[in-house]
Copies of this chain bind each other. A is one copy, B any other.
């Protein structure tokens, strides 16, 4: 069932997958635009996304929405809700979706009995933080086209990593307004940016399908550096040669 689980760093082995599988008490189908959890709500369950797409988001007082993350199939959506007890944001379904529920009591048992799996669940929640950092960079340093390209490059990489779509083409059931809420742009401006990218031959976003016509341009425009996705397992090829034994070269005490 959880074939795509943990597809990135440190994938689960068969035994671990089976352990998590056994902890599932319910599989549920939800309709598009269903709200799954609200900010501040006490949660007794965490969610694995089996199929479809979810978003996590906050709304400001004026009702403006900001996406915090896009969840793709295989994601452990809100495992941080187990240590945290409640969420600081909302979770909702973008498309029809299938989710699996795991009671927090089971997670507690697993983490006590299985240090290896506990470690990997920790890792998963850290990947979440790493994704957030990618979003901070996108919003803080890129303009409209840059943000859209960065988001699409990230999403392409994540979907490829779980075997959904190719680097040139994947399914993404968002509206332009959703895309804007992810990238901090209005829907009007999102439309204009997409048009520009389309006529520049970079990419096309239509009917929930993304086609990347010029991957190099997408990466360049989005200043996309996938380091933060931790797609490789720590044995990192790029940028730094030797392992650092000590941080800093500051004056010692």
A interface, CB within 8 angstroms of B: 9, 26-31, 34-45, 47, 58, 60-61, 64, 66-68, 80, 83-86, 88-89, 91, 93, 98-99, 101, 111-112, 115, 118-119, 122-123, 125-126, 128-130, 132-133, 135-137, 139-142, 183-184, 223, 227-228, 230, 234, 236, 238-240, 242-253
**Contact residues in B for A119 (Cβ distance below 8 Å):** 83, 111
Further 8 A-B residue pairs, CB within 8 A, beyond A45-B247, A85-B236, A139-B184: A36-B248, A42-B243, A66-B140, A68-B137, A80-B130, A84-B234, A88-B227, A126-B129
Q: How far is the CB of A50 from chain B (nearest CB, A)?
A: 11
CB of A136 within 8 A of CB of B136, answer yes
- Closest B residue to A10 by CB, please name it: B83
Please give, as numbers and ranges, the residues of chain B lying within 8 Å of A43 by CB-CB distance. 244, 247
Once the chains are docked, how many angstroms separate the CA of A39 from the CA of B88? Answer: 28
Whether B136 pairs with A66 at a CB distance below 8 angstroms is yes
Give CA–CA (A50, B111) in the complex, Å.
30
Given known A-B contacts A83-B122, A141-B66, A240 and B184 have beta carbons under 8 A apart: no
Chain B residues whose CB sits within 8 angstroms of the CB of A125 once the complex forms: 122, 125-126, 129
CB contacts (< 8 Å) of A61 on chain B: these are 223
- Contact among B27, B234, B250 with A28 in the assembled complex (CB-CB below 8 Å): B250
Output the nearest chain B residue to A184 by Cβ-Cβ distance: B140
Least CB separation from A89: chain B residue: B133
Q: Is the CB of B230 within 8 A of A88?
A: yes
Contact partners of A111 in chain B: CB under 8 A: 115, 118-119
Residues from chain B with a CB closer than 8 A to the CB of A60 are 137, 141-142, 223
Q: Please, which residues of chain B bring their CB within 8 A of the CB of A251?
A: 29-31
Q: How far is the CA of A107 from the CA of B32 in the complex (A)?
A: 43
Of the candidates A42, A183, A242, the one having the most CB atoms from chain B within 10 angstroms of its own CB is: A42
Contact of A64 with B247 in the complex, beta carbons under 8 Å: no
6 pairs from A and B in contact (CB 8 Å cutoff):
A28-B252, A47-B247, A84-B234, A128-B129, A132-B136, A135-B136
Contact A85 B115 (CB under 8 A): no
How distant is A145 from chain B, measured CB to nearest CB, in Å?
Answer: 14
Assess whether A248 is in contact with B184, with CB atoms less than 8 Å apart. Answer: no
- Check A35 against B248 for contact (C-beta < 8 Å): yes
A84 touches B123 (CB 8 A): yes
CA distance A114 to B123 in the complex (A): 18
